[in-house]
């Protein structure tokens, strides 16, 4: 009890931090349910007289959010699938198969983590143009996969490194090949890391603005962040639409967070990413 009493100053000190985290969310959501006149009154602490669910209906229709969300989901599915297919075997090989140049190859991949996307974005556009992939979802998928591979390999290798080598040796004694060890031994015990990779990959793809801005030109193929900017720019004076459109754009990813937060945390902290 004494301990708890001593704790109160810390708890009080944490309150503004929590407020800072929550306030923008709360304000945005409350404002998205106000009328244009109520928003114009600039009283941030007031609640809406009537909940204006119509704002969401209007934003959804005017902003074409169904198409944007559809494109974002296709984009996300492609990136997540390809990231898993490339990073899992590479992470295993770089962790458990001893071959000359393994360490250097790993550091070469890690170097990719340090390359800001703006350093390559113009030539990347040229490469995609040459391949006929500009303005297509397959083009953006490939570009985002290449951007996500360094972190994916880093994550999977970190996790696999923490699995004892004895497990590999035991499986080999039983006659298993490396491919069998990867698919039948390592993948089943790597669920937290795989799930963390899926979530991180999904998150960064869903939220990406820079690469889609360069690669996806016509509105028909654009993803949610691009659509939101276009929408907010066109209806910048209609705050109720901008606010509700903004909430619509992050609701799916918040839902993903609520559903997966425990697994996501486990994957990132149970052995993965320890340098």
- Span near another protein by CB under 8 A; candidates 42-50, 56-64, 73-81, 185-193: 42-50
Query: CB of residue 48 vs another protein: minimum separation in angstroms?
Result: 15
* Binding flag, residue 241, another protein (CB under 8 A): no
- Span near another protein by CB under 8 A; candidates 23-31, 62-70, 163-171, 185-193: 23-31
Q: Give the CA dihedral 104, 106, 109, 115, nearest 10 degrees.
A: -70
Per-residue burial over 115-151, b if 16 or more Cβ lie within 10 Å, else e, is eeeeeebeebbeebeeeebbbbbebbbbbbbbbbbbb
Distance CA 245, CA 69 (A): 12
* Binding flag, residue 57, another protein (CB under 8 A): no
* Binding flag, residue 122, another protein (CB under 8 A): yes
* Binding flag, residue 263, another protein (CB under 8 A): no
* Binding flag, residue 237, another protein (CB under 8 A): no
CB 197 within 8 A of CB 152: yes
Near another protein in 139-158, by CB under 8 A: 142-143, 145-147, 149-153
Tokens of 206: 């869903």
CB 60 within 8 A of CB 248: yes
* Binding flag, residue 251, another protein (CB under 8 A): no
Residue of the chain from 110, 176, 187, 217 that contacts another protein (CB under 8 A): 110
Near another protein in 153-192, by CB under 8 A: 153, 178, 182
* Binding flag, residue 94, another protein (CB under 8 A): yes
Q: What is the largest CA-CA distance in the chain?
A: 75
Query: CB of residue 51 vs another protein: minimum separation in angstroms?
Result: 19
Query: CB of residue 220 vs another protein: minimum separation in angstroms?
Result: 20
Sign of CA dihedral 201, 204, 208, 214: negative
CB 91 within 8 A of CB 162: no
């Amino acid at each position: 009890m004494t301990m708890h009493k001593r704790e109160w100053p810390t708890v009080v000190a944490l309150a503004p931090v929590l407020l800072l985290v929550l306030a923008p969310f709360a304000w945005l959501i409350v404002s998205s349910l106000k009328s244009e006149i109520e928003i114009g009154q600039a009283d941030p602490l007031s609640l809406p007289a009537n909940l204006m669910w119509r704002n969401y209906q209007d934003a959804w229709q005017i902003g074409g959010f169904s198409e944007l969300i559809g494109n974002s989901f296709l984009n996300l599915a492609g990136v997540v699938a390809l990231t898993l297919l490339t990073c899992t075997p590479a992470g295993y090989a770089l962790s458990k198969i001893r071959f000359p140049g393994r360490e250097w190859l790993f550091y070469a991949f890690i170097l990719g983590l340090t390359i800001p996307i703006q350093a390559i974005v113009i030539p990347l556009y040229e490469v995609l143009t040459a391949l006929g992939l500009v303005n297509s979802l397959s083009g953006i998928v490939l570009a985002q996969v290449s951007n996500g591979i360094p972190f994916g390999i880093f994550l999977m290798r970190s996790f696999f490194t923490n699995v004892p080598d004895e497990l590999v040796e035991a499986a080999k004694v039983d006659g298993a090949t490396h491919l069998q060890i990867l698919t039948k031994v390592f993948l089943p015990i790597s669920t937290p890391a795989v799930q963390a990779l899926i979530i991180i990959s999904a998150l960064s793809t869903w939220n990406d603005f820079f690469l889609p801005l360069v690669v996806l030109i016509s509105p028909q193929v654009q993803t949610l962040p691009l659509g939101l900017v276009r929408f907010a720019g066109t209806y910048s004076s209609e705050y109720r639409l901008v606010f509700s459109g903004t909430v619509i754009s992050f609701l799916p990813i918040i839902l993903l967070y609520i559903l997966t937060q425990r697994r996501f945390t486990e994957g990132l902290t149970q052995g993965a990413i320890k340098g």
